[in-house]
Amino acid sequence: MPAFERKDTHAMTRPEVDLAGIKLKNPVLLASGTCGYGQEINDLLDLELLGGLVVKGISLIERPGNPPPRIHETPCGLLNAIGLENVGLERFLSEKLPWLEKIDTAVIVNILGDSVEEYTQIAQRLNGVPGIEGIEVNISCPNVKAGGIAFGADPALAAEVTRRIKMVTSLPVIVKLSPNVTDITVIAKAVEEAGADALSLINTLLGMAIDIKNKRPALANVFGGLSGPAIKPIALRMVWQVARAVEIPVIGIGGISTPSDAIEFFMAGASAIQIGTATLVNPGSAAEVVTGIASFMDKEGIDDIRQIRII
Ligand SMILES: Cc1cc2nc3c(=O)[nH]c(=O)nc-3n(C[C@H](O)[C@H](O)[C@H](O)COP(=O)(O)O)c2cc1C
């Protein structure tokens, strides 16, 4: 018996939104890495109630990820150092996508690479594959050729990877920004200029915890990415800043677990939102957020959630 009962409420899936050419039933998506490839969560959450889902980051070749322990709970957040474990591009296409294709919700594929060439090869292979509505580019990965600096920490590298991906695909390209930078608007503007169709932010914030009994870092990798309620104020601030620095749509991510969290992000300027860690605590969160947004819009008498943006 699952610990949580799946709710098949099919109540309200509106409001529809067009996100850089991607038609979504509503502006609520599941965040990459927190819903696997969809099938894993299907018994606990009706994916067809949502605008879409972003699958776990895909690399060219399968990756085993980091050794355990690779998850650690903090008082209001989660540290993870999964290390981008995934089945690799070809297994994703042959084993995971056929199931996802049957689900009536938008599928966005998160991609990652160690070099510009790896990102480009994946994007090229995904181009024209039925059942994929868009690509989300995780630029938090280190560029092995450039000495390990993360793509997302250098505006020139972030722009280069975006430009090269845009050259090989006609799918909408969403670039996912890292918060581990001094000024996120510099990266956002560089990526917009390079042709990104939308931005999503934020990825996790670098952190750590120490196990004082064992006198060693709690994660085998020492550092991990912090997510969950602890990062919401930072994510909201960055969404506010980026939404005012660029013209392309912004997807807000970071600590969203309730309809009012989501509404704060729309007020800050987001056109859609993603839910990550909250799903691991309550798999029904995203569906509750969809219903809550629709009720809020009814109460406010509005038909476009973007109308609530604070100018
Ligand atoms: C266990 C775990 C795995 C994740 N894996 C990925 C990933 O593969 N690619 C990616 O871009 N983001 C990944 N993320 C980041 C989330 O998509 C999201 O940006 C972040 O957790 C902040 O949102 P939240 O506070 O709602 O979780 C992962 C997060 C968690 C907790």
User: For the segment 51-99, what is each residue's pLDDT rounded down to a tens digit?
Assistant: 999 999 999 999 999 999 999 999 999 999 999 999 999 999 999 999 9
Residue 221 resides in a domain: no
User: Using CA atoms, how far apart are residues 138 and 165, in angstroms rounded to an integer?
Assistant: 12
Q: How far is the CA of 86 from the centre of ligand 1 (A)?
A: 13
- Ligand 1 proximal residues by C-beta, below 6 Å: 31-34, 56-57, 78, 80, 82, 84, 110, 138, 176, 203-204, 227-228, 231, 253-256, 275-278
Residue 147 is predicted with a pLDDT of 78
Nearest CA to ligand 1 atom 15: 203
Residue 135 resides in a domain: yes
> Would residue 141 show up in a list of annotated catalytic residues for this protein?
yes
- Residue 196, domain CATH: 3.20.20.70
Residue 198 is predicted with a pLDDT of 98
Measured from the CA of 200, which atom of ligand 1 is nearest?
A: 19
Nearest CA to ligand 1 atom 22: 254
Measured from the CA of 255, which atom of ligand 1 is nearest?
A: 25
User: Could you tell me the two tokens for 21?
Assistant: 């050419």
For residue 5, pLDDT over 80 is answered with: no
| Mean pLDDT for the stretch of residues 136-150 | 86
Residue 131 resides in a domain: yes
Q: Please, are residues 175 and 165 in contact by the beta-carbon 8 Å criterion?
A: no
Which residue reads 């406010």 in tokens?
300
Q: How confident is the model at residue 3 (pLDDT cuts 50, 70, 90)?
A: low
Q: How confident is the model at residue 302 (pLDDT cuts 50, 70, 90)?
A: very high
For residue 224, pLDDT over 90 is answered with: yes
- Measure CA of the first residue to CA of the last residue in the chain; give whole Å: 48
User: Using CA atoms, how far apart are residues 37 and 39, in angstroms rounded to an integer?
Assistant: 6
Instruction: Tell me how many domains the chain contains.
Output: 1
Measured from the CA of 77, which atom of ligand 1 is nearest?
A: 25
Q: What is the DSSP string of 47-92?
A: GGGSSEEEEEEE-SS-B--PPSP-EEEETTEEEE-----B--HHHI
CB atoms within 10 A of CB 1: 4
Residue 1 resides in a domain: no
- Percentage of the chain exceeding pLDDT 70: 96
User: Could you tell me the two tokens for 97?
Assistant: 């996508």
User: For the segment 168-204, what is each residue's pLDDT rounded down to a tens digit?
Assistant: 999 999 999 999 999 999 999 999 999 999 999 999 9
Residue 3 resides in a domain: no
Q: How far is the CA of 129 from the centre of ligand 1 (A)?
A: 24
Residue 5 resides in a domain: no
Residue 174 resides in a domain: yes
For residue 149, pLDDT over 90 is answered with: no
Which range of residues forms the domain containing residue 41? 17-66+84-206+228-308
Q: How confident is the model at residue 141 (pLDDT cuts 50, 70, 90)?
A: confident
For residue 1, pLDDT over 50 is answered with: no
Measured from the CA of 136, which atom of ligand 1 is nearest?
A: 11
User: For the segment 209-222, what is each residue's pLDDT rounded down to a tens digit?
Assistant: 999 999 999 999 99
Mean pLDDT over all residues of the chain?
Answer: 94
For residue 10, pLDDT over 50 is answered with: no
Residue 4 is predicted with a pLDDT of 58
Nearest CA to ligand 1 atom 2: 33
> pTM of the predicted model, to two decimals?
0.96
More confident of the two residues 143 and 215: 215
For residue 8, pLDDT over 70 is answered with: no
Compute and round to an integer the Cα radius of gyration of the chain. 18
User: For the segment 17-39, what is each residue's pLDDT rounded down to a tens digit?
Assistant: 999 999 999 999 999 999 999 99
Q: How far is the CA of 53 from the centre of ligand 1 (A)?
A: 12
Please list, in sequence order, all residues whose beta carbon lies within 8 angstroms of the beta carbon of residue 301, skipping any fewer than 6 positions away: none
For residue 11, pLDDT over 80 is answered with: no
Residue 190 resides in a domain: yes
Residue 144 is predicted with a pLDDT of 79
Q: How far is the CA of 8 from the centre of ligand 1 (A)?
A: 26
Nearest CA to ligand 1 atom 28: 33
| CA-closest candidate to residue 174, choices 222, 101, 219, 109 | 109
